[in-house]
Amino acid sequence: MTGVVDTNQRYRINHFDLAAPDGQPVRWALNILHRAGLKEQVRGTDLTLRVLNRAAAEGLPVYFYGSHQEVVATLATRVRRRIPGLVVAGCEPSKFRPMTLRECRALARRIVDSNARLVFVGLGCPRQEVFCYEMRNLVPVPLIAVGAAFDYLAGHLPEPPAGASRLGLEWLWRLVHEPKRLWRRYVLLNPAYLCLLSLQVLRVWRPDIDGTKPPPATSVEA
């Protein structure tokens, strides 16, 4: 939805190497509109765990960037305990403000010097997409935006029941636990999403995915 209302964000998302259907309603929409045949959603938490397990098996050090200090510190401790052999090359919290180019380069240098081969970014939408796009030429390893996975894996947010995710109600679970931060996202964007999906199904409207230009360089809010 941020890609619908913000052409710069649309360009960023469409020029990532991979965009996964995190939400169950997105999976349903892809299957309805494009017969994608997707059997399950790709939750950020599940994706993170699968990639971390593979990283441990292949000896690839990882780096965590985002959230608060207590969250990333607990996250690093818990995933090491959960996944034997995993090497956490580094972790640092979000600054919760725009970074200067000098700060971006310093962060990139810390990541490179850590010998990390994968970077997990937990800044929330749309900050994490802007971060990954703007940092892609400074950090020579994959950057993976994983949303609330840091909070879930660190134990700072309770995991939603499997039934809620299966029924496409994980958004409601998150809204109940973080109403102040998320109410605008779900109260305003959910109805808009359903409306635009209906218009696509009826072939009244099609999103313009080609009519965007590269966004101007912007300060990275990290």
In one-letter notation, the amino acid at residue 75 is L
Which domain does 200 fall in, by range?
A: 2-215
The total number of structural domains in the chain stands at 1
- What confidence tens digit (pLDDT) does each residue in 91-132 have? 999 999 999 999 999 999 999 999 999 999 999 999 999 999
Q: Are 131 and 106 in contact (CB under 8 A)?
A: no
- Of 5, 37, 38, residue with least CA distance to 21: 38
121 in any annotated domain: yes
- Of 19, 28, 48, 23, residue with least CA distance to 152: 48
220 in any annotated domain: no
> What is the rounded CA–CA span in Å between residue 2 and residue 13?
10
69 in any annotated domain: yes
- Of 146, 162, 142, residue with least CA distance to 20: 146
42 in any annotated domain: yes
Beta strands in the chain (DSSP E): 62-66, 88-92, 98-99, 118-122, 143-145, 220-221
92 in any annotated domain: yes
> pLDDT value at position 67?
96
Q: Are 28 and 168 in contact (CB under 8 A)?
A: yes
Residues in the chain: 222
- What confidence tens digit (pLDDT) does each residue in 168-220 have? 999 999 999 999 999 999 999 999 999 999 999 999 999 888 777 898 887 78
Q: Label residues 21-56 b or e (16+ Cβ within 10 Å = b).
A: bbbbbbbbbeeeeeeeeeeebbbbbbbbbebbeebb
Q: Are 117 and 61 in contact (CB under 8 A)?
A: yes
> pLDDT value at position 210?
75
What CATH number corresponds to the domain at position 22?
3.40.50.10660
Residue 140: other Cβ atoms inside 10 A = 10
> What is the rounded CA–CA span in Å between residue 8 and residue 12?
6
- What confidence tens digit (pLDDT) does each residue in 35-72 have? 999 999 999 999 999 999 999 999 999 999 999 999 99
> pLDDT value at position 59?
98
221 in any annotated domain: no
154 in any annotated domain: yes
Question: What pTM was computed for the model?
Answer: 0.94
In the chain, how many H helices and how many E strands? Answer: 11, 6
> Is 2 a residue whose pLDDT tops 80?
yes
> pLDDT value at position 12?
94
> pLDDT value at position 207?
87
- Dihedral over alpha carbons 70, 76, 79, 80 (to 10 degrees): -140
- What confidence tens digit (pLDDT) does each residue in 137-152 have? 999 999 999 999 999 9
146 in any annotated domain: yes
Paired sense of beta strands 118-122 and 62-66, if any: parallel
Say which residue, 21 or 212, is predicted with more confidence.
21
